[in-house]
Chains A and B, each alone.
Chain A
Amino acid sequence: MMQTDTSLEAALNALLLADAHALDSKDMPGWLGNYADEEAAAYYCRSAENSEHGLALGFMYDDCRARLEDRVTFVNDIWAGTFQDYRTRHFVQLTSFDRVDATTLEMRSNFSVFMTPKDSGITQVLAAGQYLDTVRQDKNGELKLLSRRAELDTSVLPRYLVYPI
């Protein structure tokens, strides 16, 4: 199905919001569901500082579907009950998108994430940065993330990370 740019933009925004909603709801299966069901599906979280210096190391480096699935297991099973939990609110803003080919798009967006630890109740900024996404469009026009790189302007985190950004 061909889409006009306006409906494509609306669909990309819907994908961005679906991911923000899943993360803020701590719905890890929902988060996984925003990614394409392909072996190459990937999520990276790293500082822009590393990227700018050609350093590929990240805070999270899930470069295949199996690692995305393991990320769900980390949060829901392995770490359960061992950390001070915190709420997050993701604010995302689409800044540009381009079609690469019939089934692939590239999209950039800004993000800021607030966190509120449950014990202190004080809200602060967890991270700000941009998402560099590759988006897969299937035959029905549905959009999923093929890969996402959350590139953090925040090179020094104010806290450990439990959930993806």
Chain B
Amino acid sequence: MTEINLSWPKNYNEVPKEAFVRKDIYAEEVKRIFHGTEWHPVAHESELPNPGDFKTFRLAGVPLLIGRDVEGVVRVFYNACSHRGNQLETAIMGNKTEFECPYHRWLFDSKGDLVGCPNPREFLPGFNKADYPLAQPRFDIYFGLIFVTLSAETEPLLEYLGDSQNCLRELLAGDGRLKLLGYQKVRYDTNWKSYTDNDGYHAPLLHQAFKMLNWQGGKGRQYTATHRGHICFESALSVATGPSVLKDKSLIEFKGQDPAVGSRIVSLFPTFVSTKHLDVINLRFATPIDAETVEVHYAYFAHQDDDEDMVRHRLRQSSNLLGPCGLISMEDASVFHRIHIGNHTPGSAIFQKGVHDPLKLESEFLQNDESGNLPRWEYYRSVMGFERATV
């Protein structure tokens, strides 16, 4: 680890804008956070429903191959040949029972074992294929959600999730038996922390849609679930009533089974955001590309028990409601860009709403409080080794 100097304000509700834009800080974040003791969701099992299905994903640059072997077991590998390190699979997703590296024709089965390599007699004396399986990062699965950590020291996954477990399980439809509907993928011109830092408080102010659709908000609960500042939102769904400007009201119709807590968000440190809103189930696999760019794969799901009508409803709602072109979220995407530009100015971003005492951290918040982000900022500060000022 490299010591990086950044003067952090005394008040918990202030975040120095330099943290969003300095390239030396970003390089250290990759080491301490993305390669450090965190669990990162990279896929849901339902993206790989059949034996041989696979998906590739790059986690802060590290290439991963996430596959279901011929016996149906989910496995995660580094997507690099165990010989010279050539990227093994180039497709984003597909179905294969064997992976062949084109460079020297090393062949791996779906369990990651090296099953063939030409002319091994010319290799080191004693060469044994069994010594060269595909390398694997640590991974674990929670209700189908596949997490990877690149550190041997990260605590077990359930401990990592802490009190966010229940909210996350319910968001995954209670049993994790999802069915993939498709993806919306986008790059935002913003630092990864600006991407995860901007939800909650702004909603009723930024989003004209809420007003025009007679949508009420702000009546839910927001809490931090661990010292890392994972955030859970649970709120009674406020379905729009009265006159609407929409001619096709099915976009904001709610057909689901969970009206008491119809809206959930689980945001896990560092970059994962997931939401269940109306009948949309959305997992956002995000990774930094560099200090100024974050790539987000919005994956949308139905439930395996949905009938045809419900799948169609979810498809129609998911495509048009959230994400980088969604009725109630397109403006968020624009704010990501603008806040990154604004962060190239001196001083701190200052959180106000829900802050009762700038010298104290709380863990329970109202739905639209921006102070819910402060525990994760305190965790970030401590992981990065930035000293908090005393005066």
Q: Which residue of A lies closest to B93 (CB)?
A: A53
Check A57/B184 contact, CB under 8 A, given A74-B327, A79-B331, A83-B331: yes
Contact A60 B338 (CB under 8 A): no
Partner of B185, one of A61, A70, A156: A156
Q: Judging by beta carbons under 8 Å apart, are B183 and A47 in contact?
A: yes
Distance in Å: Cβ of B373 to nearest Cβ of chain A:
21
- List residues of chain A with CB within 8 A of the CB of B180: 55
A38-74 vs B: 1/0 string, CB under 8 Å?
A: 0000000111011001011111111110110110011
Q: Tell yes or no: B246 within 8 A of A by CB.
A: yes
For residue B71, CB closer than 8 A to chain A, the reply is no
Q: Which residue on A lies nearest to B92, using beta carbons? A: A49
Binds B, one of A1-9, A13-21, A157-165: A157-165
Contacts of B208 in A (CB 8 A): 77-82
What residues on A are CB-neighbors of B189 within 8 Å?
159
B295 at the interface (CB under 8 A from A): yes
**Known contacts A56-B315, A155-B92; A78 and B184 CB within 8 A of each other:** no
Shortest Cβ distance from B329 into A: residue: A160
Interface residue count on the A side (C-beta < 8 Å): 39
- Shortest C-beta distance, B270 to chain A (Å), equals 20
Which chain B residue shows the least CB distance to A164? B325
Contact residues in B for A140 (Cβ distance below 8 Å): none
B324 and A55: CB pair below 8 A? no
> Contact: A62 with B320, CB < 8 Å?
yes
Known A78-B245, A79-B208, A83-B330; contact A50-B320, beta-carbon cutoff 8 A: no
Checking A60, A78, A156 against B325 with a beta-carbon cut-off of 8 angstroms, the contacting residue is A60
- From residue B150, how far is it (CB to closest CB) to chain A in Å? 23
Is A84 close to B, CB under 8 A?
yes
Q: Roughly how many angstroms separate A74 CA and B88 CA in the complex, as a whole number?
A: 43
Most buried by A among B182, B208, B209, B324: B182
Looking at the assembled complex, report how far the CB atom of A85 sits from the nearest CB atom of chain B, in whole angstroms.
Answer: 9
Which positions in A face B, CB cutoff 8 Å?
Answer: 45-47, 49-50, 53, 55-64, 66-67, 69-70, 73-74, 77-84, 119, 155-162
| Cβ-closest 3 pairs across A and B | A57-B182, A61-B319, A55-B182
Please list 13 pairs of residues, one from A and one from B, whose beta carbons are closer than 8 Å in the complex, sorted by A's number.
Answer: A50-B182, A57-B319, A59-B325, A70-B251, A73-B246, A78-B212, A79-B208, A84-B338, A157-B186, A157-B324, A159-B186, A159-B189, A159-B337
